[in-house]
Chains A and B, each alone.
Chain A
């Protein structure tokens, strides 16, 4: 009789322990999943931002090139032939 009660209490304790362990593991897994999803979403957005920044860099280079060309043109004094050629090419 003593042995049987010992087994019952023991088994109940183990079951209780397993129940709490499972619940804790499940909550932990849920938290990890949420965190992973958040990180994925954030990295996807970051990729878009990086792509935009890359294009912005290209635009900045283009703007600088245009400014340099304008600066160069302001200093240039072309001959009559070159000016005529410029106007004819531009048409």
Chain B
């Protein structure tokens, strides 16, 4: 039963292919047509052929543009990520710089404190040793 079904399918598929192969044939003027259908002039057939190619091309172009758009969107989000990283880093650096530098008066105060501490240390050492 299975073998019979396979054979039938094979015959049908071959017959189908042959029927398709003769869908478009060349006819000379005055020659009788082997089957009823539509007769086109060479110019019209060329136009239809071009329109078919155009349709195929537009499909491929559309696919390419869609891919390009996806890639560009991907690039946009990656660039955003880069900007965010750089901004975060910039903020951290600014904070560290602000915390390290201090004002002019603050520096003067630290310098004076250093001078005072050294004087006290020297004075104290002298006092103890004498």
In the assembled complex, how far is the CB of residue B55 from the closest CB belonging to chain A, in whole angstroms? 10
Q: Tell whether B91 is near chain A: CB-to-CB under 8 Å.
A: no
Q: Tell whether B75 is near chain A: CB-to-CB under 8 Å.
A: yes
A56-B68 CB under 8 A given contacts A66-B61, A84-B24, A84-B25: yes
Q: Tell whether B14 is near chain A: CB-to-CB under 8 Å.
A: no
In the assembled complex, how far is the CB of residue A43 from the closest CB belonging to chain B, in whole angstroms? 10
* Complex Cα spacing A48 to B71, Å: 10
Q: Are B89 and A38 in contact (CB under 8 A)?
A: yes
Q: Are B20 and A91 in contact (CB under 8 A)?
A: yes
* Complex Cα spacing A27 to B26, Å: 86
| Majority DSSP secondary structure for residues of B touching A | helix
Q: Are B61 and A63 in contact (CB under 8 A)?
A: yes
Task: Map CB proximity to A onto B33-63 as digits: 1 under 8 Å, 0 otherwise.
Answer: 0000000001001100110111001001100
Q: Are A73 and B78 in contact (CB under 8 A)?
A: no
Q: Are B23 and A80 in contact (CB under 8 A)?
A: no
| Complex interface residues of chain A between 19 and 60 (CB less than 8 A to chain B) | 31, 34, 38, 41-42, 45-46, 48-49, 52-53, 55-56, 59-60
Give 29 CB contacts A-B under 8 Å.
Answer: A2-B129, A9-B125, A31-B96, A41-B85, A42-B82, A45-B81, A45-B85, A48-B78, A49-B79, A52-B71, A53-B75, A55-B71, A59-B71, A62-B60, A62-B64, A63-B65, A66-B60, A67-B61, A69-B57, A70-B54, A73-B53, A76-B50, A77-B42, A81-B26, A83-B45, A84-B24, A84-B26, A86-B49, A88-B23
User: Residues of B at under 8 Å CB distance from A?
Assistant: 20-21, 23-26, 42, 45-46, 49-50, 52-54, 57, 60-61, 64-65, 67-68, 71-72, 74-75, 78-79, 81-82, 85-86, 89, 92, 96, 121, 125, 128-129
